[in-house]
Chain A
Amino acid sequence: MKAFNFHEVKSVKEATKLASNKSTFLAGGMTLIPSMKMRLSSFSDVIDIKEIKELYGIKVKGKSVIIGANTKHADVAASKEVRKAVHSLAGLAEGIGDPQVRNCGTLGGSISNNDPTACYPSACIALDATIHTSSRKVDAENFFTGMFETSLKKGELVTAVEFQIPEKSCYIKFPNPASRYAMVGVYIAKFKKEVRCAVTGAQSVVYRCKEIEKALNNNFSESALDSVSLKSSNLNSDIHASAEYRASLIVSCAQKAVAGSK
């Protein structure tokens, strides 16, 4: 780790005011700190946002669940409100990392980091979320722009995520055996007017799988996916899974997600 100035802030305003081209926000630190320790990244200023109280909390309001950016995975997993409104969202949080990671890592940190194999981005896409930031509201589909890239501007802070409550939904992760991030993660959400299917881990950034959505819009059942065969040419290939294998896993995860939807 290289030397840096450390700031602890109490409000969103204070945080954004301190931010510069050479600064970073520190939330749970689960991703940021290892990358700084390995000297893959370094900053002149680290702005610790953990003490910003307004970024914590879970609210169910009408047809949406609003979760503060600083809310930890463990809190989402344990929340009765979340479990009641969107069962699968609590399930997703419960499946992230290990107890240490879940008790430090945050929703805001996860989506701002936008790891191509992270779980939360798929929830944002499938649950048609709106990302609230220190300066605006962005549709999730316009938020995740590329591998570890988002539409956040320098110094812009995610404050909360507003998820739409579906009729039923399910997230199935096929974990990478080593990291246990998603080798493929499929989030299926059935709304009144449409079925949304978000896939993480398979491309450089989370995306909606139109073939699966089409099949499920016609017939929301496992067997509707029996004949779906995805092309693999646009999928990731690495030492753990070839593109062809990923294509097959997406369908089998989607089938399990349909079966497990509630």
Chain B
Amino acid sequence: MAASMIGSKVERKEDKKFLTGKGRYTADITLANQTFAYFIRSPHARAKIKNIDTSKAKKASGVIDVLTAKELNEDKIGGLIAGWKIVSKDGTDMKIPPHPALASDSVNYVGDHVALVVAETLQQARDAAELVKVDYKVLKAVVNTGDAMNSESIHDGIDKNLSFDWELGDKAKTDEAFSSADKIVKMTLTNNRLVPNAMEPRASIGDFNPSSEELTLYTTSQNPHLSRLVMSAFNAIHPEHKFRIVAPDVGGGFGSKIYPYAEDVVVAWAAKRLQRPVKWVCERTDSFLSDCHGRDHITNCELAIKNDGTVTGLKVDTIANLGGYASLFATVTPTYLYGPLVLGLYNIASAYCNVKAVYTNTAPVDAYRGAGRPEATYMIERLMDKAAKEMGMDRAEFRKKNFIRQFPHQQCLVHNIDSGDYEAHFNKALELSDYSNFEKRKAESAAKGKLRGIGFSTYIEACGIAPSAAVMSLGAGVGLWESAEIRFNATGNISVMTGTHSHGQSHDTTFAQIVADKLGVPMENIDLVHGDTDKGPFGMGTYGSRSLAVGGTAIAKACDKIVEKGKKVAAHMLEANPDEIEFKDGEFIVPNSNKKKTIGEIAFACYLPGTYGEIKSPLPEGVEPGLKETAFYDPVNFSFPAGSHVCEVEVDPTTGETKVDTYTCVDDFGNLINPMIVEGQIHGGLAQGIGQALYENAYYDETGQLVTASYMDYTMPRADNFPEFRIDYTCTPATSNPLGVKGCGEAGAIASPPAVMNAVIDAIGTEVSMPATSEKVWKALKDKSDTKKKAA
């Protein structure tokens, strides 16, 4: 062990299994005597259920049972919960409609879960599902985010479909800034609704063991411990100590698998009720309909600006669509993950943000890669762009003028930003993107009949979710610390238990690098254990770019405890004082002597404390046998990654086709553990962000049917939609965790939509909304030239 593992591009430990098709996902698991489940879903966006007749289906060949809300109520299974209480500005609590795991008297979106058919084969379950007669009284659906408050209430007692009307910031101070402003710039923005589209659709298998009374649920979860807690405490599925949740390999989540879904609750319960394993695998169409969606905001925003270009105030007024029900993290996404971030990385003295969250007859909306922060970034970066143009200032200079320059910096809303150097990454991005020669490239495009535009975007994230004290004061149901356990085996290799979950983030590699560095043990002797509530300690799962900053730190701390204990044992064995022992590259050394013990020898001695020559036992008095340490880490603050992105697009004015020609990003993620993995995370994020800007859109028609419910209509970006990304970094280490890391998982998806849109708008010289499809761009250009013609 010589070179430091931290900071090197170590090849991914998980590549071998994934690239050779040896990953083991939930759907790959086959249990003896298993049954197959099929969910009957609502074909209507809004309806009352008058009756469900399951009699014919129950008699169909191979059918074991057909379960509905009636049976669910018999067994007193609780409904789904919303986990973060938001208080409206008038002091009232948010309004949450009941969300039964199987619809009892009404359905509220196409895809809403109504009944479960369990049969010997999937074929039989599907055949029988066609025999279930659900008698619906169809009602007029409320679909549109902007119209929801003026429409009939879809839930009893929830007036105007309004869940909460929340505010953040000092309204009076902000009003003052606007009344003394030299210029006010306003705009209205739509943040389009997205389908998460994890590569692996959701799946779960329930398995009840009648002899031990243990219930096991295999499921596609980013967060198995939390799922178990919620399903035990709120859904009353099974007591926590007899309930095991296993999230094996999971093929992507992007937030959509953070919380238990109705299907998990129902499958776990059905397995217990029927005393047979029940397997359910979501089909792609159902995944479009029933995975929680992302984004879906309408925002009015305005900036107060002084003549010299100083921004003095920001007002944001957002309507956020929650969908048919409030999903587990749905209420925090458009509030605390959004509001505090609206300032971007600008030093703005006053701000006020108002968010109204509404129910509509669409799939629930919850956290999706970036969760709230992409929406905030899109708003401020589009607005800054527009403001620069209206002020007649260079868009780059206008941004620089307003950057935060002193750290730590207490923002006027919530966050206290510990570290950063915004001008450093912005300047580096300008250089790497060759901004100074943009006009030349624009002329070259023009010569080919193409329109070229350049767009900037800067962003700040609050990651490392989350300091418990801070988030609980903001209404979180629980604190969001993380845990780790380092378990040495007697032969010197290590199992590392983490409460986070890897579903594409490469924890097996990154976390092993930390342990390898800390303990001087080769990578191949370190195994990461996660995703099984029976194996590792309780943890809070993976989302919000938290795993490394919080979970990685817990691991580092557990390593420190191992070294501490090792020193005591080594000192005893080497007949030295523990204080003088040095630990380096896996060896405990008595300085200025040839006396040393490897960490492997120490581990062996800790487990098999025999006689070592003169020494009767290697364990000093009061030191317990074994070498295993646990650490919990609750961060002192969020971490604040930030960065600058520059995008250049080329538009074909005859067809409106937009090509992303170059894309440059310079990010400050603090210290990097594995730059190759970080690069992969950036690529994925950019693909999703550019996808949102140009291609993706979950579109419901006026009756609430999801028109884009397959890849024939929902445009997933593909590799040929992207250029080679130019990637570079700056580094100001985080001060809130000892690794100095900030988090990189969401940055690409946060920064890129405004970078792309600012470039498109720069190219065509007129506004267009996301996604800027070829038709919309063509239409915007046509309208612009029609208006010009009219004026002439």
Contacts and interface: CB of A to CB of B under 8 A. Distances in A.
Nearest to A39: B126
Contact of B716 (A178, A239, A242): A178
Given A2-B127, A240-B773, A248 B711 contact: no
Contacts of A249: 655
Nearest to B779: A245
Interface of A: 1-3, 38-39, 174, 177-179, 181, 239-242, 245, 248-249, 252
A178 B285 contact: no
A229 to B, nearest CB: 13
A245 B778 contact: yes
Most buried by B among A39, A177, A239, A242: A177
Interface residues of B, number: 22
Contacts of B655: 174, 248-249, 252
A245 B775 contact: yes
Contacts of B30: none
B450 to A, nearest CB: 14
Contacts of B126: 39
Given A240-B775, A245-B779, 11 more contacts: A1-B123, A2-B123, A38-B285, A39-B126, A174-B655, A178-B695, A178-B714, A239-B699, A240-B713, A242-B779, A248-B778
B209 interface: no
A239 B714 contact: no
Contacts of B773: 177, 240
A252 B713 contact: no
A178 B654 contact: no
Nearest to A178: B715
Contacts of A241: 775
Interface string B449-493: 000000000000000000000000000000000000000000000
A25 B654 CA distance: 42
Interface string B66-92: 000000000000000000000000000
Most buried by B among A38, A241, A248: A248
Contacts of A240: 713, 773, 775
23 contacts: A3-B123, A39-B126, A174-B655, A177-B695, A177-B773, A177-B774, A178-B708, A178-B711, A178-B715, A178-B716, A179-B712, A179-B713, A239-B699, A239-B707, A240-B713, A240-B775, A241-B775, A242-B775, A245-B775, A245-B779, A248-B654, A252-B654, A252-B655
Contacts of A178: 695, 708, 711-716
A245 B782 CA distance: 10
Contacts of A2: 123, 127
A239 B697 CA distance: 10
Contacts of B778: 245, 248
A178 B715 CA distance: 4
A138 B715 CA distance: 37
Nearest to B713: A178
Nearest to B776: A245
Nearest to B122: A1
Interface of B: 123, 126-127, 285, 654-656, 695, 699, 707-708, 711-716, 773-775, 778-779
Most buried by A among B707, B708, B712: B712
Contacts of A239: 699, 707-708, 713
B contact face: mostly helix, strand, loop, or mixed: loop
A239 B773 CA distance: 11
Most buried by A among B655, B708, B711, B714: B655
A241 B285 CA distance: 23
A199 to B, nearest CB: 16
A167 to B, nearest CB: 26
Nearest to B699: A239
Contacts of A245: 656, 775, 778-779
A177 B777 CA distance: 14
A37 to B, nearest CB: 9
Contacts of A1: 123
A100 to B, nearest CB: 14
Top 8 closest pairs, chain A to chain B, by CB = A178-B715, A179-B712, A177-B715, A252-B654, A245-B775, A178-B713, A241-B775, A252-B655
A118 B699 CA distance: 24
Nearest to A241: B775
Contacts of A39: 126
Nearest to B130: A39
Nearest to A253: B655
Nearest to B284: A38
Most buried by B among A3, A39, A181, A240: A240
Contacts of B127: 2
Contacts of A248: 654-655, 778
Contacts of A174: 655
A146 B784 CA distance: 38
A40 to B, nearest CB: 11
A105 to B, nearest CB: 15
Contacts of B712: 178-179, 181
A249 B774 CA distance: 11
Nearest to A255: B654
A245 B714 CA distance: 19
Contacts of B775: 240-242, 245
A39 to B, nearest CB: 7
A237 to B, nearest CB: 11
Nearest to B773: A177
Most buried by B among A39, A178, A240, A249: A178
Contacts of B656: 245
Nearest to B697: A239
A239 B696 CA distance: 12
B697 to A, nearest CB: 8
Contacts of B715: 177-178
A239 B702 CA distance: 13
Nearest to A252: B654
B175 to A, nearest CB: 41
A195 to B, nearest CB: 21
A179 B695 contact: no
A13 B716 CA distance: 43
B478 to A, nearest CB: 40
A179 B711 contact: yes
A260 B107 CA distance: 54
Nearest to A249: B655
Contacts of A242: 775, 779
Contacts of A252: 654-655
Most buried by A among B656, B713, B714: B713
A38 B284 CA distance: 10
